[in-house]
Amino acid sequence: MVKAMPIALRLCASNGRMQIMMALLGVLVIILVGYSRLSNSLDTRMQYSVNNDNILQNELKQLHKRIQILEDGKKTYPEVDFLNYKDRKRILVTGGAGFVGSHLVDKLMLQGHEVTVVDNFFTGRKRNVEHWIGHENFELLHHDIVNPLFIEVDQIYHLASPASPPFYMYNPIKTIKTNSIGTINMLGLARRVRARVLLASTSEVYGDPEIHPQHEEYWGHVNPIGPRACYDEGKRVAETMCYAYQKQEGVEVRVARIFNTFGPRMHMNDGRVVSNFILQCLQNEPITIYGEGKQTRSFQYVSDLVDGLVALMNGNFSLPVNIGNPDEHTIIEFAQIIKKLIGSDSEIVNKPAMTDDPQKRKPDISRAKKYINWQPKVDMLLGINKTIEYFRNELHRSKHSERNLHPPEYVHRVAHP
């Protein structure tokens, strides 16, 4: 028993060491496993952050590229004159996104004025004034002038009204409202802010005239209940309202009686003689003439009209003034001229005459010459060629972005077309 004690104690001691050894070994294994896991996760994290870096680098590159593209395509504007605050006017153009209005806007903008266009886009298009959108002197308001408008302006060119027969006959009541209520609204605005108003009236106030050429003192020959009456009578009452506001409220008014006008930016479905003939010839379709084609028209190029409107607005003459080109042709002659210029094979087809279609139309422009020192300058063939070029481009256009600028009127001033 006494002998066995030390052996037992030794065994116990060696068992304790074993246990301690085993425990140490266990700790070591745990540390090793932990370390290897930690180093694996560190590796994964480093790999992850390298990958992330690459993704970020790629994204940065893409952003740089996009910034470059945006900077390269930065919108530029035709160069405008600078007018100091005394000469710079705030000008409202109603119907400014239409055919005539957009050319007028170009002229006023280039002169350095602040221009606000108001349009309901019935026949006008944003594209006609796209080249000014964003310019500090330009504002485009989508607004129907049948509703009142409250803005601060010095001059109002009141052009808003459908002008071609298919458009003004499409909704005759709206045509009457635009020319009556719309004109009242513009005259009311002019009275409130003491602005001068120019009304874009028309040779249609003479109806189917009994005198030739038509001078401003002729009262006209209009059928008040015919299909054209919504427009003809609408403009006649618009003129009446202008002079009532002048007499009763002291509003300064100008009335331009515009004769047939043509040029780039005419609506493709305009339905007026020049656009119809050009489009029919360009597409080798039959040229349609309503009636025998012996009725006459005198066509002016749009830049002449715009010069006349600006001269009238800024002159001192407040009675109605004819603005048109007295160069008179029969409709059949026009068809032949356009056919020849385009070199088209289109045949001429006669259709039944339109109701109340005026048989003769030629302005007497002595008043314009005498009081506003204006007469047309653009040769008809030159104008028709420019208009043909415009319609040809429109027919072949396949992108939205192409600008709707029309040199040479202001080609020398366009910084980046």
Ligand X SMILES: NC(=O)c1ccc[n+]([C@@H]2O[C@H](COP(=O)([O-])OP(=O)(O)OC[C@H]3O[C@@H](n4cnc5c(N)ncnc54)[C@H](O)[C@@H]3O)[C@@H](O)[C@H]2O)c1
Q: Would you name the residues annotated as active-site residues?
A: 231
Establish if 322 lies at the interface with ligand X (CB under 6 A): no
Rg for the chain (alpha carbons), in Å? 38
Stretch that binds ligand X, among 49-57, 92-100, 221-229, 389-397 (CB under 6 A): 92-100
The residue (of 161 and 346) whose beta carbon lies closer to ligand X is 161
Q: How many residues can be counted in the chain?
A: 417
Establish if 208 lies at the interface with ligand X (CB under 6 A): no
Q: Of 145, 153, 222, 251, which lies in the binding site for ligand X, with binding defined by CB under 6 A?
A: 145
Find residue 409's DSSP bridge partners.
none
Long-range contacts of 132-141 (CB under 8 A, 24+ apart): 132/77, 132/105, 134/75, 134/77, 135/77, 135/80, 135/109, 137/80, 137/109, 137/112, 137/113, 138/105, 138/109, 138/114, 139/114, 139/115, 140/96, 140/97, 140/116, 141/116, 141/117
Q: Which residue has the tokens 């108001």?
A: 118
List the end-to-end C-alpha distance of the chain, in Å, as a whole number: 118
- Which of 202, 219, 221 has its CA nearest to residue 210? 221
Amino acid at 123: T
Stretch that binds ligand X, among 160-168, 245-253, 384-392, 400-408 (CB under 6 A): 160-168
Q: Of 80, 91, 97, 241, which lies in the binding site for ligand X, with binding defined by CB under 6 A?
A: 97
Instruction: State the nearest-atom distance from the C-beta of 118 to ligand X, in Å.
Output: 6
Stretch that binds ligand X, among 20-28, 29-37, 95-103, 212-220 (CB under 6 A): 95-103
Say how far residue 360 (Cα) sits from the centre of its chain. Answer: 33
Q: Of 116, 155, 261, 275, which lies in the binding site for ligand X, with binding defined by CB under 6 A?
A: 261
Establish if 98 lies at the interface with ligand X (CB under 6 A): yes
Instruction: State which of positions 101-140 bind ligand X (CB under 6 A).
Output: 101, 118-124
Q: Of 137, 155, 183, 202, which lies in the binding site for ligand X, with binding defined by CB under 6 A?
A: 202
Q: Of 100, 129, 197, 388, which lies in the binding site for ligand X, with binding defined by CB under 6 A?
A: 100
Q: Which residues bind ligand X (CB under 6 A)?
A: 94-95, 97-101, 118-124, 144-146, 159-163, 178, 182, 200, 202, 258, 260-261, 267
